Amino acid sequence: MSVHATGVAQHLTISGNKLTLQKVFNAIENQTGYVVLANKGLFSGDKTFSLSVSNMPLKDFLDQLSKEQSLKYIIQDKTIVMSRKPAPAFNVTTIIAEIPVEFSFSGQLLDGTDNQPIPGVTIRVKNTGKGTTSDASGRFQLSELAEDAVLIISSIGYKAVEIPVQQLVSLKAGGPVTVDGTKILKPDAGSIILYLPRNTNELDESVIVAYGTTTQRFNTGSVASVKAEDIERQPVSNVLEALQGNVPGLFITRSNGNPGSQMHISIRQQQSIPMPGSEKSMPLFVIDGVPFVETPFASAGASGNIDPMNSINPTDIASVSILKDADATAIYGSRGANGVILITTKKGNASKPHFDFNIYTGGGKVTRYLPMLNLSEYLALRRTAFANDNVTPDFSNAPDLTVWDTTKSRDFLKDYIGGTSNQTEVTGAFSGGSEYLHYRFSNTFRRESTVFPGDWGYKRYSSHLRIDNTSRNGKFALGVSAMYTKESNNQVSSDLTRYVYILPPNYPVHNENGGLNWTGGFTNPESFLLQSASFKSDNLLANANLRYTILPGLDAKISLGYNKIAQTNETRLPKSSLDPSSGTGESAATYRSNYIESYIVEPQLTYNRPLGSGRLSVLVGGTWQQSNFVEPYFVRATGFSNDRLMSSWTAASTITFKSSSFREYKYVSGFGRINYVLKDRYLFNLTGRRDGSSRFGPNRQFGSFGSVGAGWIFSSEQWAEAALPWLSFGKVRASYGTTGNDQIPDYGYLASYGNFFYQYGSAGIYPLRSANPDYGWEANRKLDIALETGFLDDQIFLSASWFSSRTDNQLVTAPLSSQSGFSSFTGNLPALLQSSGWELDVKTKNISRKRFSWSSAFNITIPRNKLISFPGLEKTAYAYVFIEGQPINNYNGYHYTGLKDGIATVEDLNKDGKFTQGLLQTANGDYQIISASIPDFYGGFSNSLKLGRFQLDVLLQFVKQMKSSVRSAVGMQPGGLSNQDDRIVADGFRPSVLSGSEASYAYKNYYLLSDGNYSDASFIRLKNLNLSYQLPSSWTESIRLKSAGAFIRAQNLFTITSYLGFDPETGGAVLPPLRQIIAGIHCSL
């Protein structure tokens, strides 16, 4: 046979002497892009025929083929359905009368929206144990069906279909018909094609969970999901920032407002006794099946620790699932102790090739400056302080009063952090596919500057490729994805915020000869602008998934993953930026390189089939993972002959320190899950896992974990339907399970040694840690109970959850007596800690009209934690900080009782006539618990309004919490050589210039360590605003565009708070989150 395609005109050229229908149908698909569907009966036998056509229109060819081969066809969208010509038509009554008692037929299930095959659909014969599932091509086969059989067809994300077999048989072969909202096509008497409608109810939308998918309706665990459209509305570089306020139980804060800065994440405030060198409360991150290390291991000057998640492009993300309870996380074993965040990237679908383009640009500014004393207020405070202490101001103790110009002032905050952070992001994505092949290839470039003076900023280039392919018989499927990101973050060597806000208003940054001014003991902010901290990162994350269908419903899978994050950072302090009177005055630099390389292999077997009146799903699998943490070099050098030679340490005269390191982590496990849904209302889920970790000694490496979950959809009961007609959905669910925790340093069970480095070439070693091969897994037991209800056809949906997590056998680094030769040891302590709380999630559809709709969502989380018990607490170093029955990680301090003659006073709680640090209950000191470190409650409130082609989305975030005020960062008494916030005078403190005066001592050692220095850091923030407009299709078609639109987006528009500081989220003296406003366009062609 020879074939020839003539392009998009859909003409065919086919010739051959021994052709079969299968070869001809393949040629049609290859030349025209149409999908040909046919019953397998057409291909029975070895009948061949001759055919010769040249450049014949598709319809003419189909007419000729049908006439010569006794066929008939139907064209529906891009699908051609072929079948044998039927026998002479009979009326419906005759057909029904001739239905055999038992019969068989085959079928195919397609998506009603895009005509794509739907694999894994359950086809169950009602009130029997008979049934099957569709293969990867959506095909299924049923035999020996009774005359009165009724088929129930259900799948995640689609409306359930219940249809009598008699009704299917009575349909005439030919064009499509609609039965109860479902389009059905019958090519011939023995087969059907059903186009399943997607379920628009959020309860039935697909939710990604561990090693699979489910729906909120049938889920027995606590899982929250955030979609791509919710992420894309926020102009952020880190997807974690887009999750703030959107998910109950997920609390995220930024460390500062600089690009790339670290995000602090907690799921349900999971608490564990802290351990230096580890992130024991960090959730597990999984991207397309590959674990991702979220713990920062590099920094970049003003940005501080760089968040690895910043290397994941938010525009490539399709969804984020947050797994919270044991039912959802236990299958991840020890890695899921603190919750799991699953990130799934976008993929192509069956469509014509198209290109999506998105670009936006805008800027960000600091919106909340800390009000400081102006020049006259500051000078008056200083002069009062000198008078109070009977001290005469001079050059040494008061350059601000005797040397600097007392008539000129500067607003240092606006001068040094008041700039505009410009940002631009451009994304292009090419995608498309056919029934068997889907592809998507995207590229994004982002550039973001800073608010500091100078050419500082962040750049990121990211590329993402995903290909999914399924064989024509549906038995074999292959999916591959690769994501590459290249980052560059060039920052000021330190956050200027902490240095400039304490400068006296008349501080001169330059002296008379134009050089930097170093008088007064301040760090000149201009010196930081001469220094630099550069960070570069390369991140490659790749994944391959292979699936083979052994038998209908039985699939073998294997997932292969690889991730490598390589980071380098350099800090340069040129001689021109250093105070010549301090230290050596020599130029200095630091050079560091790190990378993490991870491999993972996960084979799996899945089995899905109807069982009785329900659906059974079984999963068994295993995990092998290895991660290498490598630091090729860490070098500190000084004494460069020229500042321009600081790009390499070889130009330094002295190497003051150098090191390299290597750590290896290995993890192996086996896991399983059994899920059963009975009568679509009784839900059961059982998981188990056996983990092995290299972070424990030879005899303690393995641990077993598991969970059980159950749910009851009581709204499906007949009594509920009759008694509660206004209740459209009602479910109670509960789960209980255990997980472990191995988030501790590697090799902690071994004795280890460190080395001294001498610049003259010699070296030595010394013991670092004592061995303890007997410490074991930290155990975590979780209980979750929830009620989920929908009212008025799910126009109002409410979910309320109570959760409790108890952790014992705590892995800690406990202090040791110096007589042992070691400062601490790693081991288990019998402390039982409980984290519990409530979550409430409400979603409403307020108005649903053709041209106007309004929906809202509200969530709130109320977390609590406390130390339940700690046998032998009084014999440990923790006796000074922990109290049984109270939270851990509290803010402790004196109780402030006010001022006496302007001098701060605190309460003598232990009544011993002295003021001593330490808790009253444990150390017999004068400290009390001021506040828990976790918030009292937090949440978000969002609204989405659509009017015609306009859409407005608004998100409010709120937090109730306490934090120490910015005065802790100042550390200088009122009246000292330092500016203060504008409330300091009204508060009535006695100004003093002497650090040893009674007023100064009381301020620094009593007030700053008391609850008087703590401020209400609660806030309500307009987190996000998105206004978009979609152009009419008539406009876009006229300029040959598939779609187009424009948008304006804003982040952190305003914050309502009474916090004494820059920002209640970040606290302290760091750059606050910026208000960002951008505008952009998107189009598809």
What would the two tokens of residue 24 be?
């001809």
Give the span between the Cα atoms of 793 and 520, in whole angstroms: 70
- Residue that wins the pLDDT comparison between 473 and 682: 682
Phi, psi dihedrals of residue 521, rounded to the nearest 5°: 80, 10
For residue 46, name the pLDDT band (cuts at 50, 70, 90).
low
Q: How far is CA 104 from CA 83, 140, 603, 611, 649, in A?
A: 17, 11, 36, 20, 79
The predicted structure's pLDDT at residue 4: 40
CB neighbour burial string for 60-99, b if at least 16 within 10 angstroms, e if fewer: ebbeebbeebebbbbebebbbbbbbeeeeeeeeeebeeee
The predicted structure's pLDDT at residue 1020: 97
Instruction: Name 1060's bridge partners.
Output: none
The predicted structure's pLDDT at residue 1040: 86
Q: Quote the distance between the C-alpha of residue 103 and its chain's center.
A: 51
Task: Report whether pLDDT(840) > 50.
Answer: yes
Give me the mean pLDDT over the 522-528 stretch.
93
- CATH number assigned to the domain comprising residue 70: 3.55.50.30
pLDDT in tens, 215-258: 888 999 999 999 999 999 999 999 999 999 999 999 999 999 99
- In this structure, the number of other CB atoms found within 10 A of the CB of residue 658 comes to 14
Give the span between the Cα atoms of 221 and 207, in whole angstroms: 11
Shared domain check, 219 and 163: no
Shared domain check, 217 and 177: no
Give the span between the Cα atoms of 834 and 885, in whole angstroms: 10
**β 532-551/476-491 pair status:** antiparallel
296-305, 947-956, 983-992: least confidently modelled range: 296-305
Task: Report whether pLDDT(986) > 80.
Answer: yes
- Residue that wins the pLDDT comparison between 87 and 1010: 1010
Shared domain check, 339 and 211: yes
Phi, psi dihedrals of residue 723, rounded to the nearest 5°: -85, -25
CB 876 within 8 A of CB 825: no
pLDDT in tens, 49-73: 888 888 888 888 888 888 877 888 8
Task: Report whether pLDDT(3) > 50.
Answer: no
The predicted structure's pLDDT at residue 494: 93
The rounded percent of the chain whose pLDDT value lies above 90 is: 57
Q: How far is CA 910 from CA 158, 783, 907, 927, 928, in A?
A: 67, 40, 9, 9, 11
What would the two tokens of residue 532 be?
């630099």
Task: Report whether pLDDT(111) > 90.
Answer: no
The predicted structure's pLDDT at residue 278: 65
DSSP 1011: G
Give me the mean pLDDT over the 773-783 stretch.
88
pLDDT in tens, 286-313: 999 999 988 887 788 899 899 999 999 9
Amino acid at site 987: D
Does 312 fall in a domain? yes
Give the span between the Cα atoms of 157 and 225, in whole angstroms: 14
Among residues 938, 954, 789, the alpha carbon closest in space to that of 855 is found at 954
What would the two tokens of residue 759 be?
């610049």
302: enclosing H helix or E strand = none
CB 883 within 8 A of CB 845: no
Does 32 fall in a domain? yes
Shared domain check, 247 and 119: no
CB neighbour burial string for 341-369, b if at least 16 within 10 angstroms, e if fewer: bbbbbbbbbbeeeeebebebebbbebebe
Among residues 216, 243, 215, 213, the alpha carbon closest in space to that of 230 is found at 243
Shared domain check, 173 and 218: no
Give me the mean pLDDT over the 425-451 stretch.
94
The predicted structure's pLDDT at residue 240: 94
725: enclosing H helix or E strand = none
The rounded percent of the chain whose pLDDT value lies above 70 is: 94
Give me the mean pLDDT over the 502-521 stretch.
92
16-25, 760-769, 817-826, 971-980: least confidently modelled range: 760-769
pLDDT in tens, 67-82: 877 888 878 767 788 8
815: enclosing H helix or E strand = strand 810-815
Among residues 788, 741, 857, the alpha carbon closest in space to that of 247 is found at 857
The predicted structure's pLDDT at residue 213: 84
32-36, 773-777, 857-861, 1046-1050: least confidently modelled range: 32-36
Give me the mean pLDDT over the 477-490 stretch.
95
Domain's final residue, options 171, 196, 221: 196
- Residue that wins the pLDDT comparison between 93 and 30: 30
The predicted structure's pLDDT at residue 93: 46
Domain's final residue, options 196, 226, 244: 196
DSSP-H helix ranges across 98-238 = 165-170, 228-232
What would the two tokens of residue 292 be?
């991702």
DSSP 1004: I
pLDDT in tens, 1028-1073: 999 998 888 888 888 999 999 999 999 999 999 999 999 989 999 9
Give the span between the Cα atoms of 933 and 924, in whole angstroms: 22
The predicted structure's pLDDT at residue 903: 96
The predicted structure's pLDDT at residue 755: 67
CB neighbour burial string for 458-494, b if at least 16 within 10 angstroms, e if fewer: bbbebbbbbbbebeeebeebebbbbbbbbbbbbbbbb
pLDDT in tens, 663-695: 999 999 999 999 999 988 999 999 999 999 998
268-272, 605-609, 881-885: least confidently modelled range: 268-272
Shared domain check, 104 and 27: no
Does 469 fall in a domain? no
Task: Report whether pLDDT(89) > 70.
Answer: no
Shared domain check, 150 and 188: yes
Amino acid at site 621: G
For residue 824, name the pLDDT band (cuts at 50, 70, 90).
confident
The predicted structure's pLDDT at residue 141: 81
Shared domain check, 206 and 343: yes
Shared domain check, 119 and 77: no
Among residues 135, 131, 129, 142, the alpha carbon closest in space to that of 169 is found at 142
CB 80 within 8 A of CB 37: yes
CB 19 within 8 A of CB 51: yes
Total domains, the chain: 3
Helix (H, G, I), strand (E, B) or coil at 536: strand
Classify residue 560 as exposed, middle or buried by CB count within 10 Å of its CB (0-12, 13-18, 19+): middle
Shared domain check, 192 and 320: no
DSSP 722: H
Task: Report whether pLDDT(161) > 90.
Answer: no
Q: Residue holding tokens 């009419």?
A: 1032
Give the span between the Cα atoms of 815 and 830, in whole angstroms: 16
Give me the mean pLDDT over the 653-661 stretch.
89
How high does pLDDT run on average in the chain?
88
Phi, psi dihedrals of residue 281, rounded to the nearest 5°: -105, 10
Give the span between the Cα atoms of 325 and 762, in whole angstroms: 54
Angle between helices 21-32 and 58-69 (to 10 degrees): 170
Task: Report whether pLDDT(696) > 60.
Answer: yes
Q: Residue holding tokens 């889907």?
A: 438
- CATH number assigned to the domain comprising residue 141: 2.60.40.1120
167-171, 643-647, 744-748 — most confident range: 643-647
Among residues 982, 992, 991, 989, the alpha carbon closest in space to that of 1007 is found at 989
DSSP string of 786-813, one letter each residue:
EEEEEETTTTEEEEEEEEEEEEESEEEE
Give me the mean pLDDT over the 120-124 stretch.
81
DSSP string of 479-519, one letter each residue:
EEEEEEEEEEEEE-SS-THHHHTTS-TT--SB-TTSSB--G
Domain's final residue, options 348, 379, 396: 348
Shared domain check, 297 and 249: yes
The predicted structure's pLDDT at residue 90: 45
Give the span between the Cα atoms of 309 and 285, in whole angstroms: 9
Does 854 fall in a domain? no
341-355, 376-390, 462-476 — most confident range: 376-390
Does 779 fall in a domain? no
Long-range CB contacts for residues 441-447, cutoff 8 Å, separation at least 24: 441/465, 441/466, 442/315, 442/316, 442/346, 444/313, 444/315, 444/316, 446/237, 446/313, 447/422, 447/423
DSSP string of 672-717, one letter each residue:
EEEEEEETTTEEEEEEEEEEEETTS-TTS-EEEEEEEEEEE-GGGS
Instruction: Report CA dihedral (276, 278, 282, 287) to the nearest 10 degrees.
Output: 160
Give the span between the Cα atoms of 297 and 597, in whole angstroms: 13
Task: Report whether pLDDT(443) > 60.
Answer: yes
Classify residue 600 as exposed, middle or buried by CB count within 10 Å of its CB (0-12, 13-18, 19+): buried
The predicted structure's pLDDT at residue 689: 93
400-404, 644-648, 934-938, 961-965: least confidently modelled range: 644-648
126: enclosing H helix or E strand = none
Does 821 fall in a domain? no
The predicted structure's pLDDT at residue 373: 95
pLDDT in tens, 709-763: 999 999 989 898 889 989 999 999 999 999 888 888 888 888 877 666 555 555 5
- Residue that wins the pLDDT comparison between 171 and 681: 681
Which residues form the domain of 34?
A: 2-84
For residue 5, name the pLDDT band (cuts at 50, 70, 90).
very low
Does 73 fall in a domain? yes
178: enclosing H helix or E strand = strand 174-179
CB 313 within 8 A of CB 460: yes
- Residue that wins the pLDDT comparison between 392 and 157: 392
Does 129 fall in a domain? yes
Shared domain check, 169 and 212: no
This prediction has a pTM of 0.85
151-155, 206-210, 567-571, 776-780 — most confident range: 567-571
